[in-house]
Amino acid sequence: MTSRTLRVGVTQWHATTDIAANLATALRLIDRAAADGAQLVTLPENGLMLGTNAQMRAAALHEDSDEVRRLRRAAATHGVAVVLGGMKNRTAEATYNSALVIDADGELVGRYDKMHLFDATIGGQSFEASTVERPGAGPVLLDLDGIRIGLTICYDVRFPELSRALAAAGAEVLLVPAAFVRSTGAAHWHTLLRARAIENLAYVVAPATVHSPDPDFTDAFATYGHALVVSPWGDVLADLGEDPEAVRVVELDLEAVSRARSTLPVLAGRRGADEYNDDPRVLALAGRGASAEGAR
């Protein structure tokens, strides 16, 4: 029996407002990943342009932009699939944060629009993504040579119901391209990604942007880096640390997903959706304080 494997290139770089420089980095890393035998190359969220909300809104690209066409040519040249993990995508109806999916022939076969927008204030800095983009409408799966891959983007990782829905629909690999804030990344990044892998018994592949290595350079917002590949058992197979330009090709053994799901059949043990949607029953009980009061 032939083993099922997928060689995935996970990338990381320091992204700025310089779209041409960011694109050149993306193309270099695609070249390097392809030379190392990657079948799929994953690029981070905001890898083509990372700036303030106003800057990213103004610089939103179209799917038929020269930048996307050059990524498509690179995919076709090397015969690799590419997922641009998230770009500000200006469409006829709205701007979305879209993961664009390019096949090994260079065809743009579709996209996933980020469902959960990062509206938060961290360390006094406001991240109001909804002022830039509109949320997407639903989950998306890729099928690459019979391997199902679930698409998510960055903040989606904090909403486990999305990853679970993708896994329940057959995803063996979950992509989490990110531009994760540095402070929350240090606290939560590894834990969240390992949790999504463990609870779904799936590989997690998470390309990432990273803060500037120059302490005198001020990023619009500093990102954490540490692009990761995590096994279905929660082991970290690759961690790119804080390298400002890096790629690692990791061979994913899809039989490991089958073995993990056979050992812990959590997906098979899920109950019907209606049972989870029922309002919880509330059990009222007296605490020590109430009992003591009543004894007086």
pLDDT tens string 183-222: 999 999 999 999 999 999 999 999 999 999 999 999 999 9
Beta strands in 114-155 (DSSP E): 119-122, 125-128, 141-144, 147-151
In the structure encoding, which two tokens stand for residue 92, read together? 């006829």
Residue type, 96: Y
Quick one: pLDDT at residue 265?
Answer: 96
Across the chain, mean pLDDT equals 95
Angle, CA of 247, 44 and 141, to the nearest 5°: 110
Q: What was the pLDDT predicted at 139?
A: 97
Which has the closest alpha carbon to 25: 44, 39, 8, 7?
44
Joined together, the tokens standing for residue 271 give 């109950």
**Helices 160-168, 190-200: crossing angle, 10 deg rounding:** 30
Return d(Cα 272, Cα 255) in angstroms, integer.
Answer: 27
What pLDDT, on a 0 to 100 scale, did the predictor assign at position 289?
74
Vertex 223: Cα angle to 127 and 40 (nearest 5): 110
Half-sphere exposure of 6 (CA within 13 A, CB side): 27
Distance CA 11, CA 42 (A): 6
Look at strands 173-175 and 147-151 and give their pairing.
parallel
The single-letter code of the amino acid at 233 is: W
The answer to whether 229 and 163 have CB atoms below 8 angstroms apart is no
Predicted confidence (pLDDT) at residue 292 exceeds the cutoff of 60 = no
Task: Determine which one of 67, 133, 154, 172 is catalytic.
Answer: 154
Our answer to whether residue 114 is catalytic in this structure is yes
- Structure tokens of 232? 């279905």
pTM value? 0.94
Report the percent of the chain where pLDDT is more than 90.
91
List the beta bridge partners of residue 228: 206, 239
CB-facing half-sphere around the CA of 182: CA atoms within 13 A: 14
| Average pLDDT over every residue of 240-264 | 98
Query: Quick one: pLDDT at residue 141?
Result: 98
pLDDT of residue 99: 98
Q: What is the mean pLDDT of residues 114-129?
A: 92
Q: Within 13 Å and on the Cβ side, how many CA atoms surround 171? A: 27
- pLDDT tens across 4-59, in order? 999 999 999 999 999 999 999 999 999 999 999 999 999 999 999 999 999 999 99
What band does 290 get if pLDDT is binned at 50, 70 and 90?
low
Of the pLDDT bands very low, low, confident and very high (cuts 50, 70, 90), residue 3 is confident
Per-residue confidence at 291, pLDDT binned at 50, 70, 90? low
CA Rg value for the chain: 21
| pLDDT value, residue 273 | 82
> Which pLDDT band, with edges at 50, 70 and 90, does 151 fall under?
very high
- Checking if the pLDDT of 295 tops 70, the result is no
Which among 45, 67, 133, 172 is annotated as catalytic? 45
Among residues 67, 114, 133, 172, the one annotated as catalytic is: 114
Contact 172, 203 (CB under 8 A): yes
Integer angstrom CA distances of residue 214 from 39, 136, 211, 242 = 33, 35, 9, 12
45 flagged as catalytic = yes
